Amino acid sequence: MARLFITPKEINFLSDVAKELVKDVIGQKIYYFPISEIKSKVHDVYEESRDKIFDNPLEIDSLVKYMPQEVKTDQFGSEEYSSIEVYIQSRDLLDKKIEIFEGDFFSFGEKFFEVIKAPDTTTLYGQIEYSGYTTLTGKQARLGQFMSKIFGPTSEANSDSDAIQDTFYQQRGFSSNKRGETGDVRELRKRGVLDNPITGQKEVSSKGDSSGAGNSFYDE
């Protein structure tokens, strides 16, 4: 698309719309474990780290495509393996100064995945300097390959009290919400083109349940 018609103003608008969809509507997250370059000892010759140490997990808003499980059978029996694709808005990674590297790990639900690919997937209207989103392709980590506390919702079959996410708070470009700091930046508001939304942030919670059917949208 010609740069005469798609200017940085339109690029910022498209990025803000994508953030609104992921952060304020979809509400999916992964927990990303970056390798600590400071704590992990690197071999002087091979420039590889045998024992990797990971930093605290980063919560990243994303769109997750969960693949059907693959069953592999060998002499020891059968095992189930999962793969996953995660789409992350590129501007959001820049805002939060997060870099994605192959070999890092992330969790979604009860499972941990190793990043095997993480390319910038699209350019915005062919303008090479603007990326639409980054796609993480993850393969389920082998048992014992990576271990950590499980974060976020898991399954309704789990009896833990936090297995089901019963509240969802929008971010809407505010620096914080009821869960704490968001790190959310909406470029057009940052530049003074748009004002803050007068309706503020909304939530899906028990406050919106007036029928007893379950948590719902709360718009006070």
Q: For the residues 75-95, what does the mean pLDDT come to?
A: 86
Four-residue CA torsion sign, 205, 210, 216, 219: negative
User: Tens digits of per-residue pLDDT, 96-105?
Assistant: 999 998 888 9
Element (H, E) at 9: helix 8-21
Q: For the residues 74-90, what does the mean pLDDT come to?
A: 83
Q: For the residues 83-98, what does the mean pLDDT come to?
A: 94
Q: What is the pLDDT of residue 37?
A: 60
Query: With a threshold of 0.75, does the pTM exceed it?
Result: yes
Residue 208: DSSP 8-state: G
Q: Could you give the count of Cα atoms lying within 13 Å of 14 in the half-sphere of its Cβ?
A: 15
The domain locations on the chain are 8-162, 166-220
Q: For the residues 119-138, what does the mean pLDDT come to?
A: 89
Q: For the residues 65-91, what does the mean pLDDT come to?
A: 82
Bigger pLDDT: 52 or 97? 97
